[in-house]
Amino acid sequence: MYTKSIHYDVIDVNLAMRKMTKDECLDDLKHRILSTDLAPGSDLDETALAEHYGISRTPMREVLHRLAGAGYISSTENRGSKVASMDIGTMRTFFQTAPMIYANIASLAAEARTGPQLEDLKAAQRAFTNATAANDAQAAALANHHFHAVIGQMAHNPYLVASLGRLLIDHTRLSQRFYRPASEEEERRIEKAGEQHDAMISAIEAYEAPLALDLSLQHWDLSRDRMERYVRPDPLPVDVVSLKDHRNAV
Amino acid sequence: MYTKSIHYDVIDVNLAMRKMTKDECLDDLKHRILSTDLAPGSDLDETALAEHYGISRTPMREVLHRLAGAGYISSTENRGSKVASMDIGTMRTFFQTAPMIYANIASLAAEARTGPQLEDLKAAQRAFTNATAANDAQAAALANHHFHAVIGQMAHNPYLVASLGRLLIDHTRLSQRFYRPASEEEERRIEKAGEQHDAMISAIEAYEAPLALDLSLQHWDLSRDRMERYVRPDPLPVDVVSLKDHRNAV
DNA sequence: GAAATTCTGAATGTATACAAAAAGTATACA
DNA sequence: TGTATACTTTTTGTATACATTCAGAATTTC
């Protein structure tokens, strides 16, 4: 999915494009929402979107309903759709819920995974490491999303996968900027996330459920650290004058 | 919702009815699926349904997509929709997942509930006791569904509610026949379920999260017992002859 | 007679015209 | 100036005709 990702010039985003199929349209909108290219809370005009994707309003509306069902957008009767918002309440709930779901999903995945799914997972991990190596933050976030979605498939639990899908939407949007290392320390953390992915693959491959669970919790801790560090960064220097001097000195 | 429930003669189910609004259609289909009036796995013909509800295919398709998004039905491209199936694998997963979600939802509900929601919950419980008192198994199952859905709203956690919604669909369908007591013992169990509901209401009202969690686990145990008893009933008597004698003696 | 192929029909999928609802704008009036 | 109300515009919702797809029947071929 993320290897054959759809590419088109960002400049062209608001111009009509050659007839896209309904599924491509669905995938493209998902990617644009996950990458926060479409900001949380922004309005979606079905006529404009239909024109943009070169399909009529009927299938466009169907796509929007599917996105609403999966939690990507929220629609109100007679008042259109908007990209799912991410307010402070959502974030709190997210941090509260994610570890439990992730851990259980990982454990179930290690119990129920199939061979082909394992190959998918390894492919997703390759895409992830490629993206981080290329410093492509957006691709890395999407590849990470896909990696965890595949683990969800492995878990073979439609109930929990419904939660997981919604968690991943917000997780990916939150972490959108994290894979562009701001410091050596950050770079080391991204590296570590990749290593944790590899460890999780091994545990799942060996059907070691408790280990997979434990690793996924460690992975969550790392991810949470980075999100907290982003939400609550180091405060700006108080002594602005000396900072200015320092700048001038460069 | 379950107090002003839609009534129409069961005989009329396959005849066209006076123009229903889209939302009514959605609710009616949900009820018919939850009550297993529409059996798991059965095919849904969108043309026939549209005619039945007196709306055109466009809004009918929208309703079907909404139902698919919520897990009531599953649709395949170019091959229509069918009521979500309930195979042995689904059941296993259900029993595996339900207690965790229910318990966490109950705990969160006790932390976050609002006043109006508490009133909704009490109303749902009244509907439930009325239905059991009237020996209306179907109404009881739907009222029970609503009761737990309201607790889901209280929890204020869209991630877990996505799981809960799907669990409740299967739970309600599984327990469809349970509220028609087959014995005094069964009657006592239904009574106990109602008492547990009351205890949960009190815990939630008092913001006592750990208690609500514990009560919901007890409630689950009872529910699970009854489902197991249904799936694996007492074996038929081996000594058929003596049974026959017994019957004749009556 | 069995297998493959081509029809045929019944369903789903799409486009478009029209209806209804909401939002925005201008005007009248206090 | 501020408010209310009627009108206009924009956007969403619905119906319907048409296109496409798929499953099964009929036909052909070996």
- CATH number for the domain spanning B47: value is 1.10.10.10
Q: Which pLDDT value is given to residue A1?
A: 36
Q: Which pLDDT value is given to residue A11?
A: 30
Q: Which pLDDT value is given to residue B236?
A: 86
Give yes or no: residues A168 and A99 share one domain.
yes
Give yes or no: residues A36 and A93 share one domain.
no
Considering only residues A182 and B98, tell me which one the structure prediction assigns the higher pLDDT: B98
A247 domain-assigned = no
Q: Which domain holds residue B166?
A: 88-231
Q: Which pLDDT value is given to residue B243?
A: 62
DSSP strand pairing (B43-44 vs B73-75)? unpaired
Q: Are A71 and A169 in contact (CB under 8 A)?
A: yes
Verify if strand C has an atom below 7 Å from the CB of A58.
Answer: yes
Q: Taking residues A103-108, report their average pLDDT.
A: 97
Distance from CA(A63) to C1'(C12), angstroms, rounded: 16
Considering only residues B183 and A125, tell me which one the structure prediction assigns the higher pLDDT: A125
Which residue, chain included where needed, has tokens 């996950």?
Answer: A34
Domain end among A45, A64, A83: A83
C-alpha B54/C-alpha B48 separation (Å) is: 10
B240 domain-assigned = no
Q: ipTM for the complex?
A: 0.88
Q: Which pLDDT value is given to residue B249?
A: 57
Side chain identity at A237, as an amino acid letter? P
- Nearest Cα residue in chain B from A63: B65
pLDDT, one tens digit per residue, over B24-71 is: 999 999 999 999 999 999 999 999 999 999 999 999 999 999 999 999
Determine whether the interchain pair B167/A159 forms a contact, defined as Cβ–Cβ distance below 8 Å.
yes
The answer to whether residue A65 neighbours chain B at the CB level (below 8 Å) is: yes
Give A2's pLDDT tier (boundaries 50, 70, 90): very low
pLDDT, one tens digit per residue, over A182-240 is: 778 888 899 999 999 999 999 999 999 999 999 999 999 999 998 888 778 888 888 77
A244 domain-assigned = no
A2 domain-assigned = no
Give B112's pLDDT tier (boundaries 50, 70, 90): very high
Per-residue pLDDT at A244 exceeds 90: no
Contacts of A185 (CB under 8 A, 6+ apart): none
What does the DSSP assignment read for B177-244? GTTS-SSHHHHHHHHHHHHHHHHHHHHHHTT-HHHHHHHHHHHHHHHHHHHHHHHSPPPPPS-HHHHH
C-alpha A194/C-alpha B59 separation (Å) is: 46
* A 186-225: CB under 8 A from B: none
Task: Give the CA diameter of chain A.
Answer: 62
Q: Taking residues B95-117, report their average pLDDT.
A: 97
Q: Which of residues 73-92 of A touch strand C (CB under 7 A)?
A: 78-79
Distance from CA(B57) to C1'(C15), angstroms, rounded: 14
Residue nearest to nucleotide D20 (CA to C1'): B78
Q: Which pLDDT value is given to residue B245?
A: 66
Q: Which of A17-21, A197-201, A244-248, B199-203 is the least confident region? A: A244-248
Task: Give the CA diameter of chain B.
Answer: 62
Give yes or no: residues A21 and A70 share one domain.
yes
C-alpha A1/C-alpha B222 separation (Å) is: 44
Determine whether the interchain pair A65/B70 forms a contact, defined as Cβ–Cβ distance below 8 Å.
no
- CATH number for the domain spanning B158: value is 1.20.120.530
Strand, coil or helix: A42: coil
Interface test with A, best of B159, B167, B170, B174 (most A CBs within 10 A): B159
Give yes or no: residues A93 and A78 share one domain.
no
Which residue, chain included where needed, has tokens 């320092």?
Answer: A246
C-alpha B38/C-alpha B149 separation (Å) is: 21
Q: Which pLDDT value is given to residue A17?
A: 60
B115 domain-assigned = yes
B23 domain-assigned = yes
Give yes or no: residues A149 and A71 share one domain.
no
Domain end among A35, A53, A83: A83
Give yes or no: residues A100 and A79 share one domain.
no
Angle among Cα A8, A9, A14 to the nearest 5 degrees reads: 95
* Closest to B46 in 3D by CA, of B71, B75, B13: B75
Q: Are B179 and B190 in contact (CB under 8 A)?
A: yes
Q: Which pLDDT value is given to residue B17?
A: 59
A245 domain-assigned = no
Beta bridge partners of B81: B44, B75
Strand, coil or helix: A44: strand
Q: Which pLDDT value is given to residue A145?
A: 97
Considering only residues A10 and A115, tell me which one the structure prediction assigns the higher pLDDT: A115
Considering only residues A18 and A122, tell me which one the structure prediction assigns the higher pLDDT: A122
DSSP strand pairing (B43-44 vs A73-75)? unpaired
Task: State the total domains in chain A.
Answer: 2
A240 domain-assigned = no
Q: Which pLDDT value is given to residue A246?
A: 63
Sheet holding A81-83, edge to edge: A43-44, A81-83, A73-75
Give yes or no: residues B92 and B71 share one domain.
no
N-to-C CA span, chain A:
46
Give yes or no: residues B126 and B109 share one domain.
yes
Per-residue pLDDT at A245 exceeds 80: no
Distance from CA(B50) to C1'(D2), angstroms, rounded: 50
Q: For chain B, what percent of residues have pLDDT higher than 90?
A: 72
Q: Taking residues A151-180, report their average pLDDT.
A: 93
Give yes or no: residues B71 and B163 share one domain.
no
**Residues in chain B closer than 8 A to A165 (CB atoms):** 162
Give yes or no: residues B96 and B196 share one domain.
yes
Give yes or no: residues A67 and A114 share one domain.
no
Closest partner residue to B159 (CB to CB) among A58, A68, A97 is: A97
Which residue, chain included where needed, has tokens 């009881």?
Answer: B140
Q: Are B224 and B129 in contact (CB under 8 A)?
A: no
CB pairs below 8 Å between A and B: how many? 69
Nucleotides on chain C that have an atom closer than 7 A to a protein CB are 11-17, 21-23
Considering only residues B176 and A51, tell me which one the structure prediction assigns the higher pLDDT: A51
Domain end among B46, B62, B83: B83
Neighbours of B128 (CB within 10 A): 25
Query: What is the CB-side half-sphere exposure of residue B107 using CA atoms within 13 A?
Result: 13
Distance from CA(A241) to C1'(C28), angstroms, rounded: 60
Sheet holding B81-83, edge to edge: B43-44, B81-83, B73-75
What does the DSSP assignment read for B123-182? HHHHHHHHHHHTT-HHHHHHHHHHHHHHHHHHHT-HHHHHHHHHHHHHHHHHGGGTTS-S
C-alpha A183/C-alpha A63 separation (Å) is: 40
Q: Which pLDDT value is given to residue A7?
A: 35
DSSP strand pairing (A43-44 vs A73-75)? unpaired
Average pLDDT value over all residues in chain A:
88
Give yes or no: residues B38 and B120 share one domain.
no
